[in-house]
Structure 1
Amino acid sequence: MDELARLAGISVRTLRFYRERKLIPPPRREGRIAWYDDHHLARLRTITALLERGHTLSGIAELAEAFDHGRDVGELLGMEPPTDETPVRLTPEELADRFAGQDTPENLAAAMDLGYLGTDGQQIVHISRRLLDVSTALVREGIPLAEVLRAGKEVRTHADTLADLFADLILRHAPEEALHRLRPLARSVVDAELSLALDRRLRKQHEGTDETDGKAAGTEEP
């Protein structure tokens, strides 16, 4: 314990306090000897970094609990066939920086349930750099992370339906091995249709705004 506290740059008293608050996992014991390893040191350095960023110990404790009970990254990355998405490895403090104040256990649990997040030792792994970047951008625009995750869950349902549609279409007319080769075509169709749908939505909103402005500018005849 003395050695761990020295390497982490904290006092033994602080280390004991962190243990009591369950901010770090228990040591491995051999008889009366308690062994700490690099994972404990990494967690202590993470706690220090999060405190410096303004997080409370209560919030860090909740984050640690969610982190410790997260899905192993092997459950996410061991899928066949392999995904086209690029996973991103993050430390807890890097995740906190992206979603400052919103990296709550509830949001982490929701992201883990969706399969967005997994754990690998003391790192968090996001399954898709594109999804991570989009989520970060939406939160920075003022949209709550909880709402982003709820939308992601709805999108997942529609995406599964579209995937089934294209898979059935291809498998009815082509050999099974063509499914992976032709998936970029399916993605292009979905991307184009979504772009057109957004155009229609924006045009409809613009027309509605013009109509409202016109009524506001008009005068009532006597």
Structure 2
Amino acid sequence: METRGTWEAEAAVKREYRTQELAEAAGIPVRTLRFYRERKLLPPPRREGRIAWYDDQHLARLRTIAALLERGHTLGGIAELTAAFEKGRDVGQLGELLGMGWSDETPVRLTPEALADHFEGEVTPENLAAALDLGYLAPDGEEIVHVSRRLLDVSSALVREGVPLAAVLETGRRVREHADALAALFTELISGHLGEEAVTRLRPLAKSVVEAELTSAMERLHQRRGPAAPRPPQTPSS
């Protein structure tokens, strides 16, 4: 208990950096850091007289910018992308949602026309707003980034089968809530017994448990409901 309290107390202390220290931690020149600040790619630092103090959120932003530049994004596109996510998300999540870090997801770049083709006319302003709020989509210049090839393929397949896109997005929102709870459960289990460093290493085990339990749950539900009633034959139109 004492160890846990000490760890929590240390975690609550926010680390701060001067300009030179932040640039060194991010691996960039000071002039690049100042350029990003002038372009409003970084939030303003805390001021103490003439000294600018940055924190770990600024460092996370700089690392995200570097990763996006490596993927071919422009600075203008990055500015739009971060602005979109800052409306409802912590900036530290941006890299994860774009398939960086430890995520297995592959982001997809689409034109608005290609996105509309995927969803057969259901890309309405309401559905776009819901997808942006979930973090599935983000603008990047004249294109749109979908954060997951798998989620894009699954959602477009459901729409082609006749499920309304609005219902798919609402289900995605509810699944997100359960996924967050499962992630917290497994993280607490692993970190509580083995330490934080083991969470990344043992992540595939957690995924296997969730997949196996979901398969079993759907099978049990199918058995309780019984076989589905056959659809009535289609009558040829006259």
- Please confirm whether the aligned pair reaches a TM-score higher than 0.5, indicating the same fold: yes
- TM-score, L = length of structure 2: 0.55
TM-superposed deviation, 1:208:
8.8
What is the aligned counterpart of 2:114 among 94, 97, 102? Answer: 94
Aligned to 2:218: 198
1:131 equivalent in structure 2: 151
State the one-letter code of the partner of 2:143: Q
Letter in 2 for 1:194: L
* Contact in 2 for aligned 1:71/1:117 (Cα 8 Å): no
In structure 2, what is the equivalent of residue 71 of structure 1? 84
Whether 1:142 and 2:142 are equivalent positions in the alignment is no
Contact kept? 2:191, 2:197, Cα under 8 Å: no
Give SS of 1:106's match: helix
Give the drift of 1:78.
2.3
User: Which structure is higher in RCO with an 8 Å CA cutoff and minimum separation 6?
Assistant: 1
Asked whether the 8 Å contact 2:127–2:166 carries over to 1, the reply is yes
Return the alpha-carbon distance in structure 1 between the equivalents of residues 118 and 189 of structure 2. Answer: 40
SS at match of 1:171: helix
| Alpha-carbon distance in 2 for matches of 1:71, 1:140 | 28
Query: Displacement of 1:120 after TM fit?
Result: 1.0
Structure 2 SS opposite 1:198: helix
Match of 1:176 in 2: 196
**1:103 CA drift (Å):** 0.2
The within-5 A match list for 1:33-52 is none
Q: Secondary structure at the match of 2:120?
A: coil
1:81 Cα offset (Å): 3.9
The number of residues matched between the two structures is 142
Superposed CA deviations along residues 85-110 of structure 1, whole A, max 9, x for unmatched, are: 11111110100101122100100000
Runs of 4+ in 1 over 6 A off after TM superposition: none
Cα distance in 1 for partners of 2:228, 2:113 equals 44
Give 1:158-169 correspondences, 5 Å limit: 158-169=178-189
5+ residue gaps in structure 2? 1-79, 230-238
Q: 1:36-79: per-residue Cα shift (whole Å, max 9, x none)?
A: xxxxxxxxxxxxxxxxxxxxxxxxxxxxxxx99x8269x56424
Describe the SS at the equivalent of 1:184.
helix
Please tell me whether the aligned partners of residues 105 and 148 of structure 2 are also in contact (alpha carbons under 8 angstroms): yes
Deviation at 1:175, TM superposition (A): 2.2
Q: CA deviation at 1:137?
A: 0.5
Letter of the 1:134 counterpart: V
Name the Cα RMSD after superposition: 2.5
- Equivalent-residue separation in structure 1 for 2:217 and 2:107 (angstroms): 29
Distance 1:146 1:207, change over 3 A: closer
Q: Match of 1:131, SS?
A: helix
The TM-score normalised by the length of structure 1 is 0.59
Identity %: 60
Distance 1:207 1:133, change over 3 A: closer
